[in-house]
Amino acid sequence: MRKRILAANWKMNLTQTQVDSWLAAFQSNNWSSESAEVRVYPSAVYLKDFQDFRIHQGAQNVYYKERGAYTGELSIEQLQSVGCASVLLGHSERREFFQESNELIAQKVEACVQAAFPFILCCGEPLDVRQAQNHKAFVLDQLRKNLEHLTPSQLDLLVIAYEPIWAIGSGLSASVKEISEMHLAIRTFLSEQFAEAGQNVPILYGGSVNAANAGAIFACANVDGALVGGASLDPDTFYQLWLALCA
């Protein structure tokens, strides 16, 4: 049975005072589940704030080199030293705003695999690709290039997050039909590339997930949870998503 995951990507949001309030609210809710896991991916400056909490904390980015003269970057070893349990790779904002190529993301994937460091690999298409009906080929090409060095025995490190770029932060979520079709395409790709092991990789959806649409999204075949942006900044809203995932 695949793990169900609700992951919060805070991006470049929240101040220290707001983080303190978020964590206080987090503690007041029941996050225990035998079949689901909650994760938070805060700005790197807040990672140590999570060390005393029983919660999976992850980083939003990592560099593929072990150490050296790479000003502003963070290594896997550094992240692990502050209790970081996983990392996001290939988010569309990293691809678009920071020009991260499929080749660079593949290097980061390889570094995570070599360090046995779990990661969520993000994929998704822009609006023009969706409108041209080339979205499946676009996303599967990302996955093919980003995961080219993985073997079936290494898939326990991998979670995939499908995030249509046109739905991120726009208030426009993909329809249930669109989500189901893409998640099926990704699942089929994983099975073709990695045989039976590909069935065990969780696939999350991301893109304007909220309390109103979460139940329908989580009911879709091959949707194993969500990577949530804006809705995760409010702890009460985020908890409503958790209840929907565990329902």
| H, E, C per residue of 142-170 | HHHHHCCCCCHHHHHHEEEEECCHHHCCC
Domain that holds residue 98: 4-246
The first and second tokens of residue 163, run together, are 């995030």
pLDDT at 161: 98
For the segment 88-132, what is each residue's pLDDT rounded down to a tens digit?
999 999 999 999 999 999 999 999 999 999 999 999 999 999 999
Name the residue among 118, 195, 202 with its Cα closest to residue 154: 118
Residues acting as catalytic residues: 91, 163
- Count: domains in the chain: 1
Q: Confidence band (pLDDT; 50, 70, 90) for 170?
A: confident
Is pLDDT of 54 > 90?
A: no
Q: What is the pTM of this model?
A: 0.96
- CATH for 95: 3.20.20.70
Is pLDDT of 169 > 80?
A: no
